[in-house]
Amino acid sequence: MSDFIERPYENEKNKAIKYVKQLLDKASVDNKQSDKDELAEILRLLDSKRYGLVWEQHAEKVREKLKDVIPVFKENKDKKLSNKVNDDYNFLLEGDNLYILDLLLRTHREKINLIYIDPPYNTRSKKNEDFKYNDTFVTATDSYPHSKWLSFMAPRLRKAKELLTPDGVIAVSIDNHEGYQLKILMDEIFGENNLVGDLHVETSAIAGPRRVQAMKGSVVKTTEFILIYTKGNNLHAMKRPMYDGIPGFDIHYSKFYDGQKQKLINFTQVLKNTPKISETFKQFKLSTSLKNLDCLVRMDNKTIKDWLYSDEISKNLFRYVDKYDGPEQLKVGVNELDGKFIIQNKDGSKVQGYRYFNRIGMSDDYKPQMGERAVRGNLWRGFSADGGNLNKEGGVNFKHGKKPLRLIKQLIKALTPGGKTPITVLDFFAGSGTTGEAVMQLNAEEAGNYKFILGTNDEAIDVAYKRMQNTNAEYPMNLKFFRTDFVRKDAEDLEKSLLDNTKALIELENMTDLNERTDIAIVLNHTQASELNLKGLSKVYMRQRVHRMLVPFEQERYDSAHIEIIDIPDEFFADELGGIE
């Protein structure tokens, strides 16, 4: 094999960098600031990264606004939903999601277990104006459509990463317009090694005009992606598998453990020796072979199915039976070991296999049913079937489209452990609020412990809130509605302005309503601090200067009661206050 030179232009590049550095040193000596600035920028460009996304950076108006103002939340009390189901509240947040994420970083840094978002796909067509950048829709004639989309997504994804728990997961729906750029961007932000997988979701079928296009030779898009990344290094993010139903019987399940004789026999012997089953074979003039058994199951013969799925049969039926040479000491009979099933016959021989019982269960198809099923991989079929009912889901119409409720519910279920484990789900592109309804349905179906935070802009907020009202009628919830407001950084009394807007953040941080909690209190002056009844309290949010004024015996009173004192507004606005006392 011939030799080749790796990175042949690297020496030339290094030579150029060295030369620019010399010019920069000279400009420093000569104290020419303008030359220094321009040369520093040339050096930055020369020494930029070798691999990854490079795009024309665009400045967002909403980001520029943060130079002068501080986002805060104000509650719309008229839209509160309270059913006293428990002390926990869900939150619907109105505003640009860049501001929402900025505020969530003050309350939920490393506290979100799962983020699901369905961002704009940047289709750039007049019919689907789904992506607005700096108050203008990005269309096919735009000079920088991808760059603007990436400039929009990158800061939001970076903030999202900071919100995730160390083992948190983010899932992002996208299609082929920006999916490939998004993959590289998320590799940079979350780490390429933290890619859990890319789901391919069948969202549409080839029918009508789409069929005509396909017949003419077009490759018609029927799937979208869901990119899934974990914040940590745990790639086993799919906590609970989803299953697709399979018609028929897998004829590889051919061995049966005879408990009375304590040995393996061919399953065809069981078919012949079971009168009710052998008579069914005779009725259809079929021999008792596994292939014919598969035919009977496909014919939806209830007698055969009920018998096959019974514990007595399915728990003793095996496939892929091989010799077992492990060191484990096994008694005569069936033993379960690390998910494998070891069978030892009387003659001492051991075999291992997979039990048919584990193949039986409810599927997660559009119409779930009991039967054989297979663990779903990264191809999630059948969600095009949900399209016929999509407009009616949640009782709201949404012109930008919705994701099927079943899809989001299954995704949340797959990516979380369930049970009583507390799970907080965030969707900051909430749209019509599908994620909120999915969470409430899972809570009802599993007696789960899920809470949600939804963020959306003013164009979709009324739809999202209406859907939460509709969901509440069937699945009672507690919900608080906050809208984004602003405090100017040059406000005359900045600390007081921020203190006036702290309660909302305290409620968001604790996912609660402070008016209904007796274990959390807010203290703004020294009199309140001295006279506060500490019985039953666990947290006290105290104005920072009041906390510092506590004399030793007052501090001891709080310490003895094991109360956590949290300084406000410093807890949420430390950088903005800049040492204000």
Report DSSP letters for 511-564, one per residue. TS-GGG-SSEEEE-SHHHHHH---TT--EEEEEHHHHHH--HHHHHHHHHTTPE
Q: Residue 1's pLDDT band (boundaries 50, 70, 90)?
A: very low
- Gap between the Cα atoms of 286 and 333, Å rounded: 33
pTM of this prediction?
Answer: 0.86
Q: Is 127 exposed, middle or buried (0-12, 13-18, 19+ CB in 10 A)?
A: exposed
Question: Are the CB atoms for 69 and 486 separated by under 8 Å?
Answer: yes
Q: What percent of the chain has pLDDT over 70?
A: 95
Model pLDDT, residue 74: 97
Q: What does the angle CA 111 – CA 117 – CA 120 come to, to the nearest 5 degrees?
A: 145
Question: Are the CB atoms for 254 and 266 separated by under 8 Å?
Answer: yes
Model pLDDT, residue 423: 96
Tokens of 296: 């009977």
Instruction: Check pLDDT > 80 for residue 379.
Output: yes
Model pLDDT, residue 51: 66
Tokens of 561: 């009661």
- Gap between the Cα atoms of 142 and 239, Å rounded: 42
From the options 3.40.50.150, 3.30.300.20, 3.40.50.2000, 3.40.50.1480, give the CATH code of 61-242+377-487. 3.40.50.150
For residue 246, CA distances in Å to 124, 369, 370, 371, 376 come to 40, 10, 10, 8, 11
Strand segments, DSSP code E, in 59-130 are 69-75, 90-94, 112-117
Instruction: Check pLDDT > 50 for residue 2.
Output: no
Model pLDDT, residue 105: 96
Model pLDDT, residue 5: 44
Instruction: Check pLDDT > 50 for residue 199.
Output: yes
Q: Are strands 520-523 and 539-543 parallel, antiparallel or unpaired?
A: parallel
- Gap between the Cα atoms of 172 and 225, Å rounded: 8
Instruction: Check pLDDT > 50 for residue 4.
Output: no
Question: Are the CB atoms for 512 and 87 separated by under 8 Å?
Answer: yes
Q: Tokens 């005779």 correspond to what residue?
A: 282
Edge-to-edge strand ranges of the sheet holding 370-375 = 243-245, 370-375, 360-362
Model pLDDT, residue 175: 92
- Gap between the Cα atoms of 383 and 385, Å rounded: 5
At 201-233, the pLDDT tens digits run 998 888 888 888 888 888 888 899 999 999 987
Model pLDDT, residue 289: 94
Task: Spell out the residues 6+ positions from residue 510 whose beta carbon is closer than 8 angstroms to its own.
Answer: 517, 520, 539
Residues forming a β-bridge with 340: 337
What's the average model confidence in pLDDT over 240-267?
91
At 462-496, the pLDDT tens digits run 999 999 999 999 999 999 999 999 999 999 899 99
Which region among 125-139, 239-253, 499-513 has the lowest average model confidence (pLDDT)?
125-139
Of 140, 132, 153, the closest CA to residue 55 belongs to 153
What's the average model confidence in pLDDT over 75-94?
92
Q: What does the angle CA 306 – CA 309 – CA 313 come to, to the nearest 5 degrees?
A: 110
Model pLDDT, residue 344: 83
Question: Are the CB atoms for 110 and 442 separated by under 8 Å?
Answer: no
- Show me where the domains of the chain are located: 10-46, 61-242+377-487, 244-375, 518-577
Q: Residue 36's pLDDT band (boundaries 50, 70, 90)?
A: confident
Query: Mean pLDDT highest for which of 95-104, 299-308, 379-388?
Result: 95-104
Average pLDDT, the chain: 89
For residue 375, CA distances in Å to 196, 301, 366 come to 16, 24, 15
Model pLDDT, residue 474: 95
Q: Residue 547's pLDDT band (boundaries 50, 70, 90)?
A: very high
Q: Residue 59's pLDDT band (boundaries 50, 70, 90)?
A: confident
At 132-166, the pLDDT tens digits run 777 677 777 677 788 888 999 999 999 999 999 99
- Gap between the Cα atoms of 293 and 313, Å rounded: 14
Residues forming a β-bridge with 523: 542
Model pLDDT, residue 148: 87
